[in-house]
């Protein structure tokens, strides 16, 4: 809030006055930092929250990842308890559609404990790099802080269990039946051609024995 | 030849000569001499189409050729404009060419019935019909196979069907291709083997006839195999053995062809295509139309070449009875199919059965029921209609009605919408096949090609199986008596060729002709 | 509702209907030649070559042919699948060969208003004729007579009926679960149109719409322009997926009713970039598949909401 006001203020003035005003504002800012801001402006508007995200494999289950978000407030060790932290995973397989930015999939939501720590357990569904984001919002939905990290999953759990065995002819006994039928076909061709050839051979052999 | 076999033959020989001479005579009778007396009248009649070319022959050939050329033109137009010009669309993706494929491959079964089945059942009366029946099969099978070409959207790629790396052995179409090819080979062998003795006869006749390019080429070709025929008992038995084997082989082959053809339809989940009765239905339908086509072709060629003495009215009545039996079976199978699907009552089946019987396809369906179901029964039931004219007329109508039935088999399930609200099917729109001139011309051309190719074929080979008929004639009773005596019981006629007529040495010497 | 949809908590691994066991029931068959043993019709043979010997020889050659045929068959059925992403039509479920993605689609019928933007954007992007619908929107009526809309892309079946019927292997299934058509091989028998229970395939009855030069060659993953005389169908924009782009229909849906999903990573996304945890979303919203009784195991999930009845009960045959 403070920074925004400053910026807006800065935009109103140009030239030499901007330098002077900036100096004044900086001094005011430094002074304000030493004063208990909660008295002057109220806790929410002054606290500058920050968040850090850490992803670590669950020791007992290598397919799971614990996402730990540490929320802290600068300026005042204010109220970081009971804040809602959303954990997102970037759906990188669809990144191309949205200007190169992967859309975010919510993988879990947790509230911070007394020390400002929120934890969810997440099972990666693909191996390799996963771009994870933790985010805290205020009551009206404005984002207070985000943090990102990348986790490389060594193993993954797939809800989808692969392809099924076809129940159609080619998936069952069809190959054997097809092979046998091809063999029968070969026999039939041999027998047909063989019959014609054989009759001709016999006729040839028996034709001139007593003729004339 | 072993001693034992000679002795066995020896017992049938005359005992008026001493042993050594008798043995020699019998080996002559067995190995080198034709024991079957020649029948000049049969030879003359069989060679008539080869040697004489009437004015009507030219008229018929040219007329039919024009129709065939028109069909080829239509096919070229289709190649240019795409398959859509044949009236297809996405909701009628299979229609007339598929019906043609079924119908034209189906009519080849006449050869299998008349030649193979009647050979195995030793029905001697079949003899004069076999060549026409086998020629019909030989000619119609390539024509039926030809329908694959316009049926394919990308027909220049048809070579992929014979390229093994591309084979998908679970595809019914590929097996269809295999089955039809094998059946074609069997049909060719089955046509070729009984032709060998007749080629010898043709050679002799051609030597007496005019000397032109055609006869010279024929003589050259026929002498390769024909000259080997001396008509000895050994040769006859070899021939009969081979023909018996192929008769047995060709029947399951014929069954397989239409079964696999039906799998192309029933390998789907479409109501009206997914029918377990389809293979049987298709096979019986093919036999039915096959017999009908043999009747029509036999009548036409009998008329054209004056073969009334050999192909008599009785042949048509007998074929007519076979026709009716198969027709009744087909009607029964169709009834079963519709009844069962009607009972199942699922949305697809119910709407398909309704639309076929009473809905948008009722006219072709009931045309089939009357034309191919009731009419032949009626013709054979009434003695006044049970004659050559009635049976041939019925056969023509059967062929037409069965072609329409194939359309009824193919089109309704292909046009049924698959995505519709189960509780409110009114919004689903059925597809429509629009007949255009292109497939109709191609179908007509294929129809015309059958008699055309047979007219041409009988310019080169005898129209009657001379050797076979002479054998029948030489047996007890003889061919002519068979055909002329009205009250003979043909069905108990179990004589076999093993009973070669007894001959004395004198007769043997008299019969040495070659 | 929309913001709610994004806040899906991690569930336990709920079964989504895709967890099919891979029961291998392929049994080795024993090749016999009994059914082709020739008859012995008692005819004596008096020549040098006895028929029995001949038949024996033919039989031996035939059995050898049958065995060789089986071997050839094995070689043939292993799809080499050159120049495609697919390796095997029915690949075994072993971990090392597992594909990175298993694409699927989720269609939320609660939000579809039948605007057909998906159909039109698809046809524009892929240069298709009006009747060539890769994704089509059907107007349906439920039991109470109310209209609802049902988009239908290719279902990308796990056990596709169209693949085994093609005589020349022009249909294939990639290891990423995409059923594609080799239009450079298709001979146009249309038997796959017959086999597909979803009417998802169409045929190029005439010349295709001409297309400008494309970023990809004309290949199964990007069959643009179409080839006359061949079958075409939805490809889930297969060429775009490796670039992280979602299909045209999904990306252009103004109602956010379509989601492109990946079963392998369990993620799906819609046009506004809302990402859902797929398994949880499907389980929580009672997703169904279309005509599942046909044994096709589609990879398109429908979320019902307006008293729809998908054609699921129809007995196939």
User: pLDDT, tens digit, for every residue of C266-277?
Assistant: 899 999 989 999
The mean pLDDT value for A87-99 works out to: 86
The mean pLDDT value for B182-206 works out to: 91
Domain-located, residue B383: yes
- What are the residues facing A120 on neighbouring strands? A67
Distance from the Cα of C125 to chain B's closest Cα (Å) equals 21
**Confidence class of residue B424 from pLDDT cuts 50, 70 and 90?**
low
Domain covering A48-153: architecture: Sandwich (2.60)
**Confidence class of residue B479 from pLDDT cuts 50, 70 and 90?**
low
Answer yes or no: is pLDDT of B498 > 70: no
B contacts of C309 (beta carbons < 8 Å): 421-423
Preferred mutation among C165, C173, C304 to probe B, highest tally of B CBs within 10 A: C165
Determine the pLDDT at residue B345: 81
Q: Does B61 touch chain A (CB under 8 A)?
A: no
For B54-91, write each residue's pLDDT tens digit: 899 999 999 999 999 999 999 999 999 989 999 999 98
Domain range for B212 is 37-484
Instruction: Count the neighbouring beta carbons within 10 Å of the beta carbon of residue B156.
Output: 11
Answer yes or no: is pLDDT of C17 > 50: no
Determine the pLDDT at residue C61: 52
- The alpha carbon dihedral of C231, C234, C235, C239 has a sign of positive
**Confidence class of residue B48 from pLDDT cuts 50, 70 and 90?**
confident
State how far the Cα of B310 lies from the Cα of B125, in Å rounded to an integer: 10
CATH number of residue B426's parent domain: 1.20.1630.10
Pick from A90-104, B189-203, B392-406: least confident: A90-104
Determine the pLDDT at residue B3: 44
B388-413 per-residue burial string, b: 16 or more CB within 10 A, e: under 16: bebbbbbbbbbbebbbbbbbbbbbbb
A contacts of C158 (beta carbons < 8 Å): 163-164
Which of C:248-287 have CB within 8 Å of B?
Answer: none
Closest residue on chain C to B2 (Cα): C46
Between the two ends of chain C, the Cα-to-Cα distance in Å is: 41
Domain-located, residue B58: yes
Determine the pLDDT at residue B481: 44
Answer yes or no: is pLDDT of A171 > 80: no
Q: Do B225 and A181 touch (CB under 8 A)?
A: no
Indicate the number of domains in chain B: 1
Q: Does C245 touch chain A (CB under 8 A)?
A: yes
> What are the start-end ranges of the H helices in B387-436?
388-415
Domain-located, residue B493: no
C contacts of A202 (beta carbons < 8 Å): 47-49
B178-196 per-residue burial string, b: 16 or more CB within 10 A, e: under 16: bbbbbbbbbbbbbbbbbbb
For C198-241, write each residue's pLDDT tens digit: 999 999 999 999 989 888 888 899 998 999 999 999 999 999 89
Nearest residue, CB atoms, C44 vs list B5, B177, B427: B5
Pick from A8-17, B13-22, B295-304, C276-285: least confident: A8-17
Q: List the one residue out of A159, A105, A152 whose CA is nearest residue A130.
A: A152
Answer yes or no: is pLDDT of B135 > 90: yes
The mean pLDDT value for B375-400 works out to: 92
Share of chain B above pLDDT 90, in %: 52
Answer yes or no: is pLDDT of A78 > 70: no
For C51-95, write each residue's pLDDT tens digit: 455 445 555 555 555 555 544 444 444 443 333 333 333 333 334
Tokens of B374: 């009731």
Determine the pLDDT at residue C80: 37
Answer yes or no: is pLDDT of B8 > 60: no
Distance from the Cα of C63 to chain B's closest Cα (Å) equals 18
Distance from the Cα of C196 to chain A's closest Cα (Å) equals 14
For C136-183, write each residue's pLDDT tens digit: 998 888 777 788 889 999 999 999 999 999 999 999 999 888 999 999
Distance from the Cα of C9 to chain B's closest Cα (Å) equals 35
Say if CB C179 and CB C163 are below 8 A apart.
Answer: yes
C contacts of A155 (beta carbons < 8 Å): none
The mean pLDDT value for A149-163 works out to: 81
The mean pLDDT value for C292-296 works out to: 87
- The alpha carbon dihedral of C125, C128, C130, C135 has a sign of negative
A contacts of C266 (beta carbons < 8 Å): 125, 158-160
Listing DSSP states for A72-106 in one string gives: EEESS----TT-EEEEEEE-GGGGGGTTTPPPEEE
Q: List the one residue out of B178, B411, B393 whose CA is nearest residue B295.
A: B393
Average pLDDT, chain A: 78
- Mapping DSSP onto H, E and C, the string for B314-369 reads HHHHHHHHHHHHHHHHHHHHHHHHHHHHHHHCCHHHHHHHHHHHCCCCHHHHHHHH
Average pLDDT, chain B: 84
Angle at B342 between CA B336 and CA B344, to 5 degrees: 105
Determine the pLDDT at residue C73: 47
Chains that touch C (3 or more CB pairs under 8 A): A, B
Determine the pLDDT at residue C94: 39
State how far the Cα of B92 lies from the Cα of B434, in Å rounded to an integer: 9
Preferred mutation among A67, A127, A155, A166 to probe C, highest tally of C CBs within 10 A: A166
For B225-240, write each residue's pLDDT tens digit: 888 888 787 888 889 8
Domain-located, residue B403: yes
Nearest residue, CB atoms, C166 vs list B158, B168, B244: B168
Domain-located, residue B500: no
Kind of pairing, strands C300-303 and C103-108? parallel
Q: Give the predicted TM-score (pTM) of the model.
A: 0.79
**Confidence class of residue B222 from pLDDT cuts 50, 70 and 90?**
confident
- Domain limits of chain C? 51-80, 86-303
Closest residue on chain A to B178 (Cα): A185
State how far the Cα of C36 lies from the Cα of C55, in Å rounded to an integer: 10
The mean pLDDT value for A80-84 works out to: 83
Which one is the CATH code of C86-303: 3.40.50.300, 3.30.470.30, 3.10.690.10, 3.30.70.20? 3.30.70.20
A contacts of B187 (beta carbons < 8 Å): none
Q: List the one residue out of C10, C4, B464 whose CA is nearest residue A107.
A: C10
Distance from the Cα of C161 to chain B's closest Cα (Å) equals 8
């Amino acid at each position: 809030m403070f920074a925004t006001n400053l910026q807006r203020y800065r935009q109103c003035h140009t030239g030499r006055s901007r330098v002077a005003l900036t100096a004044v504002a900086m001094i005011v800012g430094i002074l304000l930092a030493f004063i208990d801001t909660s008295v002057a402006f109220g806790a929410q508007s002054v606290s500058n929250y920050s968040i850090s995200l850490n992803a670590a494999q669950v020791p007992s289950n290598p397919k799971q990842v614990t996402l730990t978000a540490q929320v802290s407030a600068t300026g005042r060790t204010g109220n970081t308890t009971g804040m809602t932290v959303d954990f997102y995973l970037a759906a990188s397989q669809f990144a191309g559609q949205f200007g190169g930015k992967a859309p975010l999939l919510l993988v879990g939501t947790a509230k911070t404990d007394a020390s400002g720590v929120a934890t969810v357990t997440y099972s990666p569904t693909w191996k390799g790099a996963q771009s994870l984001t933790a985010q805290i919002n205020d009551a009206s939905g404005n984002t207070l802080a985000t943090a990102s990290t990348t986790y490389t999953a060594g193993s993954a759990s797939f809800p989808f269990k692969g392809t099924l065995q076809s129940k159609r002819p080619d998936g069952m006994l069809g190959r054997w039946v097809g092979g046998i039928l091809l063999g029968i076909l070969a026999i039939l061709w041999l027998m047909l051609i063989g019959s014609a050839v054989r009759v001709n051979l016999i006729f040839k052999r028996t034709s001139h024995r007593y003729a004339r | 030849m072993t001693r034992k076999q000679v002795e066995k033959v020896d017992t049938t020989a005359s005992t008026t000569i001493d042993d050594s001479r008798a043995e020699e005579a019998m080996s002559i009778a067995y190995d080198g001499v034709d024991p079957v007396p020649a029948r000049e009248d049969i030879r003359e009649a069989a060679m008539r189409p080869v040697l004489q070319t009437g004015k009507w022959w030219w008229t018929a050939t040219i007329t039919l050729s024009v129709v065939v050329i028109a069909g080829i033109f239509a096919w070229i137009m289709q190649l240019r404009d795409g398959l859509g010009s044949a009236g297809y669309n996405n909701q009628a993706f299979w229609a007339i060419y598929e019906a043609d494929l079924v119908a034209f491959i189906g009519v080849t079964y006449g050869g299998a019935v008349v030649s193979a089945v009647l050979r195995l059942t030793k029905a001697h009366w079949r003899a004069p019909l076999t060549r026409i029946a086998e020629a019909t099969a030989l000619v119609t099978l390539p024509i039926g196979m030809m329908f694959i070409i316009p049926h394919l959207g990308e027909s220049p790629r048809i070579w992929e069907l014979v390229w093994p790396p591309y084979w998908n052995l679970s595809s019914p179409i590929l097996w269809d291709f295999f089955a039809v090819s094998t059946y074609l080979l069997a049909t060719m062998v089955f046509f070729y083997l009984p032709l060998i003795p007749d080629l010898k006869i043709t050679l002799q006749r051609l030597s007496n006839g005019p000397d032109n390019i055609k006869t010279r080429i024929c003589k050259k070709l026929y002498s390769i195999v024909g000259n080997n025929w001396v008509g000895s008992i050994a040769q006859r038995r070899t021939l009969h053995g081979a023909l018996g084997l192929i008769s047995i082989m060709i029947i399951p082959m014929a069954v397989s062809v239409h079964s696999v053809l039906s799998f192309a339809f029933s390998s789907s989940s479409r109501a009206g295509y997914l029918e377990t009765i389809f293979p049987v239905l298709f096979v019986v339908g093919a036999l039915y139309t096959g017999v009908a086509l043999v009747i029509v072709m036999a009548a036409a060629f009998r008329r054209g070449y004056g073969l009334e003495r050999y192909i008599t009215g009785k042949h048509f009545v007998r074929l007519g009875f076979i026709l009716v039996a198969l027709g009744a079976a087909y009607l029964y199978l169709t009834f079963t199919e519709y009844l069962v699907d009607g009972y199942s009552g699922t949305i697809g089946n119910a709407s398909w059965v309704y639309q076929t019987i009473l809905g948008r396809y009722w006219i072709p369906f009931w045309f089939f029921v009357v034309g191919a179901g009731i009419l032949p029964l009626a013709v054979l039931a009434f003695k006044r209609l049970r004659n050559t004219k009635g049976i041939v007329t019925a056969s023509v109508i059967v062929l037409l009605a069965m072609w329409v039935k194939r359309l009824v088999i193919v089109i309704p399930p292909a046009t049924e919408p698959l995505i519709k609200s189960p509780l409110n099917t009114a919004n689903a729109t059925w597809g429509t096949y629009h007949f255009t001139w292109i497939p109709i011309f191609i179908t007509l051309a294929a129809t015309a090609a059958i008699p055309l190719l047979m007219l041409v074929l009988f310019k080169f080979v005898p129209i009657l199986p001379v050797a076979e008929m002479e054998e029948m004639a030489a047996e007890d009773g003889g061919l002519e008596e068979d055909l002329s005596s009205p009250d003979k019981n043909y069905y108990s006629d179990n004589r076999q060729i093993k009973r070669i007529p007894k001959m004395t040495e004198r007769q043997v010497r008299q019969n040495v002709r070659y | 509702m929309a913001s709610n949809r994004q806040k899906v908590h991690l569930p336990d691994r709920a079964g989504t209907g895709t967890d099919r066991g891979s029961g291998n029931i392929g049994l080795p068959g024993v090749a016999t030649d009994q059914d082709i043993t020739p008859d012995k019709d008692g005819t004596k043979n008096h020549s040098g070559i006895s028929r029995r010997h001949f038949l024996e020889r033919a039989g031996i050659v035939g059995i050898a042919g049958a065995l060789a045929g089986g071997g050839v068959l094995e070689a043939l059925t292993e799809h080499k699948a050159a120049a495609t992403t697919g390796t095997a039509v029915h690949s075994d479920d072993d971990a090392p060969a597992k594909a990175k993605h298993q694409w699927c689609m989720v269609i939320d019928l609660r939000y579809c208003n039948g605007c057909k933007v998906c159909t039109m954007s698809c046809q524009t992007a892929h240069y298709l004729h009006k009747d060539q619908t890769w994704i089509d929107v059907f107007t349906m009526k439920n039991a109470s007579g109310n209209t609802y809309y049902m988009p239908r892309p290719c279902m990308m079946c796990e056990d596709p009926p169209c693949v085994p019927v093609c005589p020349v292997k022009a249909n294939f299934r990639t290891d990423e679960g995409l059923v594609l058509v080799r239009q450079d091989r298709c001979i146009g028998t249309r038997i796959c149109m017959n086999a597909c229970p979803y009417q998802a395939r169409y045929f190029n009855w005439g010349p295709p719409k001409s297309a400008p030069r494309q970023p990809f060659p004309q290949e199964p993953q990007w069959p643009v322009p179409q080839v006359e005389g061949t079958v075409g169908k939805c490809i889930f924009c297969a060429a775009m997926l490796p670039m992280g782009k979602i299909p045209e229909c999904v990306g252009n849906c103004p109602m956010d009713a379509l989601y492109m999903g990946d079963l392998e990573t369990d993620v799906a996304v819609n046009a506004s970039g809302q990402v859902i945890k797929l398994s949880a979303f499907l389980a929580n919203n009672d997703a169904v598949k279309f005509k599942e009784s046909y044994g096709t195991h589609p990879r398109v999930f429908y979320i019902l909401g307006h008293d729809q009845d998908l054609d699921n009960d129809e007995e196939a045959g």
